[in-house]
Amino acid sequence: MASSLTKDSATAGSEKTFLGHPRGLANLFMTEMWERYSFYGMRALLVLYLATEVADGGLGMNDATAVAIYSVYNAMVYLLALPGGWLGDRVWGARKAVAVAGVIIMTGHFLLAVPAQISFFVGLAFIAVGSGVLKANISTMVGHLYRDKNDPRRDGGFTIFYMGINLGAFVAPLTIGWVGQKVSWHLGFAMAGVGMAIGLIFFFLGFRNLAPDSSRVPAPLDAAGRAALMKKAMIWLAVAAGTYAVIGLSGVFTIDWVLWPLTILGLALPAWYLIRVRRDKDLEEVERSRMSAYVWFFVAAAAFWAIYDQSGSTLSLFAKNSTQSTLFGFSFPESWYQSLNPLFVMALAPLFAWVWVALSRRSKEPSTLSKFAFGLVLIGASFGVMMLAQGVASGDTKVTPMWLVSVYFMQTIGELTLSPVGLSLTTKLAPQKYASQMMGVWFLAVTAGNSVIALLQLLGAPTDTQGWFASLGALAAVAGIAIFMYRKKVQPLMGGVH
């Protein structure tokens, strides 16, 4: 299928050369797969490295501090997706935003590979910033490949892209996790940097295959707007630098001086944004009503993500401290548990899609509210299982790995039930004025959930007790039951949305 350069340029992003889809999808698939490889590979090591004794190459932090750092890091990744999307829309365009973000992420991983504590935390900040910007823009570029929004290939393209995410997330702990725990922590972090570098190579080589819209800035700032933005950024940067310089020179600086402000920001910003949207006088009455309903879903989703995202923190520490690292005579590092969720997603997602379609044809598909409620109950029940596992692992007893396998399995089913529904509800309940921004608001539920866990850790709540798992699990389960029981009262607030 030979064609001239001119023809290629004219039809870039529309030729059927990758599984029947625009060939730019292959480049975005590989970019995202390798970016997720670097992201989840590093994350599989993060808490274990923080909590490992200095003599064994770690940072020797207590479990509470390690979980707080992990939770704040997760919260910032999703919080920064909002300004990341804004940069793509107003300043750089999606293509440049992804390129810049990828370089920042790669730099961050290589900074983690340097055996110095200051380098480690600067690298962590780089990865959080880069991941937030990339997350907000690369999915938009997939949409750009399909010029017609009703293109029947569109959903299939996003499905292929989604599989790339999970493929990268599955392989990462098996390779980076093994090298990090068995060979060298810093070599593992360097592998994550190499992974992002490979992703960037695929991205840059595929420029000519991407849609022209990916290079455009949809709503560019004028010169005055850019100058004002730069001025505000410099002022805030100077204030932050000055504040921390004073704290550092006074000799009282600890990691808490970073964790507390970021935790408060992760709780305050989502609350402020929801209130701001709800009180917007430009909204019609039905839109305000829908936002009132959405607030309850948002709070419930935050409870879900607060538990779900502990897969790489409290569950990793439970794997390290209280779980056997052998199964059927095969020994493996604790980081390998992080491959269970993407494995289950790849296995179960097609099954769930088929089940929903089959039930819909029989007019028996559960309502959106019922699916949301079931996801919450299931994530709560998974922590009920963890409560039992924690009880079995008393003293020096280590439990079988099947406890954690069952917990990750339950959480994956909960994710597949609640997460797509949450995205769908967000688009349905979003006011017209905030149609695009509300997708970023959905990500803020992850920020809020992780910030709650960080706050509990900073306040000294122990994570290695049955009470920890029982209380959080009960909270999520009760929220799910409440949504199901009061679904007929919530439905009218949704303004005709089903």
pLDDT at residue 436 greater than cutoff 80: no
CB neighbour list of residue 479: distance below 8 Å, 6 or more residues apart: 299, 300, 303, 376, 380
Higher pLDDT, residue 12 or 115: 115
Q: What is the rounded CA–CA span in Å between residue 320 and residue 339? A: 15
Helix or strand holding residue 327 (H, E): strand 326-327
pLDDT at residue 170 greater than cutoff 90: yes
What b/e string do you get for 310-339 counting C-beta neighbours within 10 Å, with b at 16 or more? bbbbbbbbbbbebbebeeeeeebbbbbbbb
| Amino acid (1-letter code) at residue 380 | G
In 3D, which of 142, 137, 28 has the Cα closest to residue 86? 137
- What is the percentage of the chain residues whose pLDDT exceeds 70? 94
Range among 1-5, 215-219, 389-393 with highest mean pLDDT value: 389-393
Q: Quick one: CA dihedral 86, 92, 94, 99, positive or negative?
A: negative
**For the chain, what's the residue count?**
498
The residues facing 21 across adjacent strands are: 18
Check residue 498 and give its pLDDT: 58
pLDDT at residue 2 greater than cutoff 90: no
Check residue 20 and give its pLDDT: 80
CB neighbour list of residue 370: distance below 8 Å, 6 or more residues apart: 484, 487
Mean pLDDT confidence for 320-336:
92
pLDDT at residue 5 greater than cutoff 50: no
Q: What is the rounded CA–CA span in Å between residue 482 and residue 252? A: 46
Check residue 404 and give its pLDDT: 97
Q: Write the burial class of residue 31 (CB in 10 Å: 0-12 exposed, 13-18 middle, 19+ buried).
A: buried
Check residue 366 and give its pLDDT: 85
Check residue 390 and give its pLDDT: 95
Question: For 140-144, 248-252, 431-435, 449-453, which range has the lowest pLDDT when averaged over its residues?
Answer: 431-435
Residues 19-52 pLDDT 10s: 788 889 999 999 999 999 999 999 999 999 999 9
Q: What is the CB neighbour count within 10 angstroms for residue 360?
A: 11
> Could you tell me the pTM of the whole model?
0.91
Tell me the average pLDDT of the chain: 89
Mean pLDDT confidence for 89-101:
92
Q: What phi and psi, each to the nearest 5 degrees, are found at residue 175? A: -105, -60
CB neighbour list of residue 401: distance below 8 Å, 6 or more residues apart: 323, 324, 325, 326, 327, 337
pLDDT at residue 16 greater than cutoff 80: no
Q: How confident is the model at residue 65 (pLDDT cuts 50, 70, 90)?
A: very high
